[in-house]
Structure 1
C-alpha cells in the first residue's frame, strides 16, 4: 500500500494543475536544484570518460531505447519494434532490461517470443550474458541514463501526451535529466497515443530547438486488436498480439466495459479506448507497475457489482486492460464472471522512417564489422 500511495502522490505532484500543485513543486525547488547539480556532474564525468575512451567495452553492438522521464513514453512497444526490425535484417538480438516490476519483461516475451529477454540492472553484464547465450546484438530497454553501456544507436523517446514545456527534475517533476540531454542521442522519437496534432507540433518544435542536429521521428502507438484472456487456461491465455486496431463500429453494441490499468499514463489509455468506440463506464487505475493481488481482483469485481447495482443494470461482462496488466492479471483472474480482455500498443511510423532504419543499420553494420563471416 505504501508504494501505491507514493506513486499516486508523485503523479499528483508532477501533473496537478492549479495553485496547490504549483506550490508543492515550488517547495521542492531546493531538492530539484540539488538533483540538477548531481546530474550535471555525473554527465561531465561520463562525457570525459567517453572522450578518453575509458568506458568498458560492450560484448555486443547495442541499440538503446530510453527516455528522459519516469515512465509513460512507450519504451516497451518501441524496444520490441526495434528487436523485430533487427530480426527482419537477419540479426539475432536479445533484449536487455533492468527488469523493474513483474510486467515489462513478460510483455516482451509475448510481443517477441523468439527474442531472449535478459533482466540485469547492469546493462554491460547483461549484454555479456546475451553474447554467451548466442545473441549477436542487443536492444537495451530503458538505458539512456545507463551511460556505462556503450551503444551504437541511442534512441530517446519523448511522449507528446505527457510533455510539459516546464521541465522539472526529480523530485519536483518526472524528468531524470534536462531536455538538453537529447543532444547526445542519435535519434529522437516523439511517441503519440492520444495527443492532437497541435500538441505534437509543439513537442516537435521544443525538441528541435533543444537538439537541432539530431534527427526526429514520430511514432504513433495504436491500440491493437482486443483479445480475450483464455478462460480454459489463463496462465497460457496470452498469445503473441497481432492484427489491426479495434474497429469503432460495433464496439458499443457489445456492451459497457470497465477499464483496469496499472500504467504510467492511464488517461491516454482511456482516451484511446473511448476513441475506439468502447462504452467505458469506469476506469480503475492503479499506480504504474502495481503488483496485482487476488485481493485486488476481488475489489475490482466487487466495485463493478456495486456500480451495476446502483445503476440498476447487470454487471459488465467485459473488463479491458493493457497487455502490460494482462501478463500479471492472467493467473489471478477467475474463470467465471466478467471476461478479461486486453489490448496491446502497435507502432505506426508517421514520420522519420529513414531515420529509424538508420538506427537499425548502425547495429547491423557494427555486428558485421565485429563478427567475421563464417568460413
Structure 2
C-alpha cells in the first residue's frame, strides 16, 4: 500500500499532507538551528564522507560504501566506517565490530560491510560516538558513514547522495505522504549525486549493481547464476523488486519470490517452511549474514557490487584524494 501511495498514482497521499508539512517544518527548523550554531556539530579529527539519500528505502548505499572502501584501500588508505546499526541492539555502545559480532548486536549492513571489506567498522545510535571509538582505537585516514545525510550532529567534509534511478523521488512529498526525508533542493548542496540504475540527468553519476556468482551460505560453494532453475527467492531490503529482477536477468528461474521488510530478522523455521520440497533458496547477501548460523545446504546468496564508469569513478576518487590533501 505504501509503495502505491508514494510511487504510484494513488491520491491517498493528500490525506497525509498535514503530517508531511509538520515533518518538513520540524526538519527545516532543526537544520536551521545547526546552520546558525544554535545546535553544535561535532567535527572528527579526520575527513568524514557521508553516503546518504533523500528518500526512505533502498537506493544502493551499502554497495557504494563497500565500493568506496575498497577503492580507497587499494590506494593504501586506512578507512573507518560508521553506522547507526538499524535492526541491531546492544546493551553497550559504541560497538567496534569483530569476526564474532552478530547482526543482532550491530545490524545487518555493518556486519556485511565488515565481512566484505575488513575495514574498521563501528556502530552507535549517535554516529559521533562511533567515530570517536574508531579514532581512539585506530589510526584512519578517512571515515565513511553509511547513511546519516540528515544527521547534522556529525560534521562532514563531503556528501554523496544515492538515488534509485527507477523510482527517483516518487511523488516528491515529505514523509509520510511521500518518501522524502528532504526535498530535492538539497541536491544543490551535495558533492556528488549517484544514480543506481534507470536514467541519469546532467551532472549525475551513473551506477549499476552487478552480480554473477551464487554462493552457498553453509559451504561457500560457488556456482554460475544461470545454472539455477525453479528456485525460491527472498529479499528483506529496501526495494526487493530490484533483486528479483536481477536474478531473472541472470537467467535464474524463480517459482516464488517473497518480500520481507527491510532488516527483517529471519529464523530457521520461517525459511525452512519456504522450501518444503527442498527447493534452492536464494537471498541477498544482506539477508545471508543473518542466516549463517542456521543455514541449510540448499540456501544460497548473490553477492553484488557497485559499478561506476571509469571516468566518473576517477573524478570522484580524485575529489576525495584532494579532500584528504587539504585536511593534512
Q: What is the TM-score when the length of structure 2 is the normalising length?
A: 0.86
1:360, distance to aligned residue in structure 2 (A)? 2.3
1:188, distance to aligned residue in structure 2 (A)? 1.0
**1:113-128 matched pairs, under 5 angstroms:** 113=118, 115-128=119-132
Give the SS at the match of 2:210: strand
Between the aligned partners of 1:264 and 1:225, the Cα distance in structure 2 is 22
Q: Which of 316, 323, 346 matches 2:305?
A: 346
The answer as to whether partners of 1:152 and 1:366 remain within 8 angstroms in 2 is no
Q: Establish whether residue 145 from structure 1 lines up as the match of residue 137 from structure 2.
A: no
Between the aligned partners of 2:149 and 2:111, the Cα distance in structure 1 is 21
State the match for 2:267 in structure 1: 293
State the match for 1:74 in structure 2: 60
1:333, distance to aligned residue in structure 2 (A)? 2.4
Give the SS at the match of 1:125: helix
Choose 326-335 or 86-95, whichever is displaced more. Answer: 326-335
The answer as to whether partners of 2:55 and 2:169 remain within 8 angstroms in 1 is no
Larger Rg: 1
- Report Cα offsets for 1:285-336 as digits up to 9, x if no partner: 111111112231233224xx4xxxxxxxxx53x211110010112222235x
Q: What is the TM-score when the length of structure 1 is the normalising length?
A: 0.76
The answer as to whether partners of 1:224 and 1:346 remain within 8 angstroms in 2 is no
**1:47-126 matched pairs, under 5 angstroms:** 47-49=35-37, 55-101=41-87, 102-113=107-118, 115-126=119-130
**Which structure 1 residue ranges, 4+ long, deviate > 4 Å from structure 2?**
none
Between the aligned partners of 1:170 and 1:263, the Cα distance in structure 2 is 19
Q: 1:366 to 1:129 in 2, by over 3 A?
A: farther
Gaps of 5+ in 2: 88-106
Gaps of 5+ in 1: 1-8, 209-214, 232-236, 306-314, 370-375
- How many equivalent pairs are there? 307
Q: Which of 333, 340, 356 matches 2:316?
A: 356
Q: 1:98 to 1:191 in 2, by over 3 A?
A: same
State the match for 1:161 in structure 2: 166
State the match for 1:211 in structure 2: none
Structure 1 or 2: more helix by fraction? 1
1:167, distance to aligned residue in structure 2 (A)? 0.6
RMSD: 2.4
Between the aligned partners of 1:150 and 1:108, the Cα distance in structure 2 is 22
